[in-house]
Amino acid sequence: MCHRLFFDVTELVGFDKGTGIQRVTRGLLLALQSQPPADWAVVPVRGDKTTGRYVTALAASDARGDGSRDLMVSERHIEPRAGDIFLSVDLAYNITPELRQEVVRFRESGAAVYFVIYDLIPLMYPEWFHGTNAWFEGNDYLALFNYWFECVSEEADGLVCISDSVRQDLRAWLAKHKPKREVLPKLEYFHLGSDIAESVPSMGLPDDAEEVLARLKSSSTFLMVGTLEPRKGHELALDAFERLWAEGADVDLVFVGRVGWKIERLVARLQAHSMRGKRLFWLEGITDEYLRGVYESSSALLGLSLAEGFGLPLVEAAHHNVPLIVRDIPVFREVCGNSATYFNGASADDLHDLLVSWLAARESGKCVYPDGMEVLSWAESAKQLMAAVGRMLGNEHFWSEKCASESL
């Protein structure tokens, strides 16, 4: 009998926001579909809010990430059975409550249910997330996250974190805030892949892309990738660079990311800044193809976040051998090891001084590069993920058996 891995792509099908989580979903799905074991089929599924059921997703178009739908492919309700696995890599905050009983039905049918946990930041630092956001159709993101986490912590057989740091946070959180269940879910972790090209990247370049990329290559360009949020350190970076520009430094600063929460002051500064389009660039909502070009054109990646679950831009930049300047937090130590320059300061002056030192070190050939850093392909990341699932199932090698020679 062929077992089925039901791979949740609810958010990806509904609207691919082009964020790191969508790249993770696409990269892992493609890797798992490419060579499943002979007795397994990888079945993309999406949550249907109307019926409260999971249905087979449009597998061919789900992975493209361009929002298109192949209406010739039928969607069918799923009847889970013993030996199946439901794996939610996507973060379907806005639909999980309607599907909670469906998750229960999967477990009662003998299927194992696992969710990927990206971070616990909204639980640990709610002050960063209060309020609504356009991405969530006017809903309170914090309320959505809290209910989603309640669902997964109470209904899942196991939770797979994207770093050991997140696993430690999760273990501590569940010990202090026990779910309403007798046995806690099992906890594991894996690391993410790095190659945007392997994640079925979204394509397309704006008319000025060639000009912008040429500009970035001609200067010492520092890049920040991620949603604009207070914890990410964008204002800290802008303050430091304004001092560098006042000193005549030949440096550019690039933000790649959409507007997040409580960021109105930064947005106003960016929109009115005298350096915008000259030395300051805000590339909002760009495609993966464009992002890859920006990585290749940058001199260093800045990772100044106060809290992260992993730091996908770090490994994406390392894939292109772009030096890393990152805040000294545990998860970045876990991901980067000795292959990054660490920022231990708190002020814009501290960051300014570190950047001046880094530029001098690069000039003298003493800059730290990420050559020795673990940089996984999405196939390797998927292997780690399924080994983690296997450990929770009691058979770490269940997914590494002889692969099928033809698609299932």
User: Residue 363, class by beta-carbon neighbours within 10 Å (0-12 exposed, 13-18 middle, 19+ buried)?
Assistant: exposed
- Whether residue 67 is predicted with pLDDT greater than 80 in this model: the reply is no
- Whether residue 187 is predicted with pLDDT greater than 70 in this model: the reply is yes
The residue assigned the tokens 């001199």 is 299
Strands 40-48 and 53-56: antiparallel
How are strands ordered across the β-sheet holding 324-327?
Answer: 280-283, 251-256, 220-225, 300-303, 324-327, 341-343
State the average pLDDT over residues 284-293: 94
Which structure tokens are listed for 117? 């946990």
Nearest to 152 by CA among 109, 192, 118, 198: 118
Q: How confident is the model at residue 170, as a pLDDT?
A: 98
Judge whether 48 lies within some domain: yes
The parent domain of residue 56 ranges over 3-193+377-393
State the average pLDDT over residues 78-92: 92
Strands (DSSP E) contained in 63-151 are 85-88, 112-117
Tens-place pLDDT, residues 90-143: 888 777 777 899 999 999 999 999 999 999 999 999 988 865 554 455 567 888
Which structure tokens are listed for 257? 């990311």
> What is the Cα–Cα distance from 318 to 129, expressed in whole angstroms?
29
- Classify each residue of 277-299 as buried b or exposed e, where b means 16 or more C-beta atoms within 10 Å of its C-beta: eebbbbbeebbbebbbbbbebbb
Among 95-104, 220-229, 257-266, 398-407, which is the least confidently predicted range?
Answer: 398-407
> What is the Cα–Cα distance from 198 to 131, expressed in whole angstroms?
35
Tens-place pLDDT, residues 309-352: 999 999 999 999 999 999 999 999 999 999 999 999 999 999 99
The rounded percent of the chain whose pLDDT value lies above 70 is: 89
State the average pLDDT over residues 142-150: 90
- Does residue 357 sit in the same domain as residue 389? no
**16 falls in which pLDDT band (50, 70, 90)?**
low
Beta partners for residue 280, in sequence order: 253, 276
pLDDT, mean over the chain: 89
- Does residue 161 sit in the same domain as residue 224? no
- Whether residue 199 is predicted with pLDDT greater than 80 in this model: the reply is no
Neighbours of 349 (CB within 10 A): 12
Strands 3-8 and 40-48: parallel
Residue 242 and residue 273 in contact, taking contact as beta carbons nearer than 8 Å = no
pTM of the model as a whole = 0.90
Q: How confident is the model at residue 328, as a pLDDT?
A: 98
- Does residue 318 sit in the same domain as residue 220? yes
Q: How confident is the model at residue 59, as a pLDDT?
A: 47
Q: How confident is the model at residue 163, as a pLDDT?
A: 98
Judge whether 221 lies within some domain: yes
Which structure tokens are listed for 323? 């030096």
**403 falls in which pLDDT band (50, 70, 90)?**
very low
> What is the Cα–Cα distance from 119 to 135, expressed in whole angstroms?
18
- Does residue 183 sit in the same domain as residue 268? no
> What is the Cα–Cα distance from 24 to 15, expressed in whole angstroms?
15
State the average pLDDT over residues 143-162: 94
- Classify each residue of 397-406 as buried b or exposed e, where b means 16 or more C-beta atoms within 10 Å of its C-beta: ebbeeeeeee
Asked whether the CA dihedral 287, 293, 296, 301 is positive or negative, the reply is negative
- Does residue 285 sit in the same domain as residue 384? no
- Does residue 51 sit in the same domain as residue 189? yes
Judge whether 198 lies within some domain: no
- Whether residue 49 is predicted with pLDDT greater than 80 in this model: the reply is yes
Q: H or E segment at 215? A: helix 209-217
User: Residue 355, class by beta-carbon neighbours within 10 Å (0-12 exposed, 13-18 middle, 19+ buried)?
Assistant: buried
- Does residue 95 sit in the same domain as residue 27? yes
Judge whether 161 lies within some domain: yes
- Does residue 16 sit in the same domain as residue 147? yes
Q: How confident is the model at residue 169, as a pLDDT?
A: 98
State the average pLDDT over residues 6-22: 76
Judge whether 232 lies within some domain: yes
- Whether residue 255 is predicted with pLDDT greater than 70 in this model: the reply is yes
- Classify each residue of 83-100 as buried b or exposed e, where b means 16 or more C-beta atoms within 10 Å of its C-beta: ebbbbbbbbbbbbbbbbb
CATH number of the domain that 178 lies in?
A: 3.40.50.2000
- Does residue 234 sit in the same domain as residue 363? yes
* Domains identified in the chain, total number: 2
- Does residue 367 sit in the same domain as residue 381? no
Q: What are phi and psi of 211, to 5 degrees?
A: -65, -45
Judge whether 213 lies within some domain: yes
Judge whether 399 lies within some domain: no
Tens-place pLDDT, residues 206-237: 999 999 999 999 999 999 999 999 999 999 99
**401 falls in which pLDDT band (50, 70, 90)?**
low
- Does residue 147 sit in the same domain as residue 262? no
- Does residue 145 sit in the same domain as residue 216? no
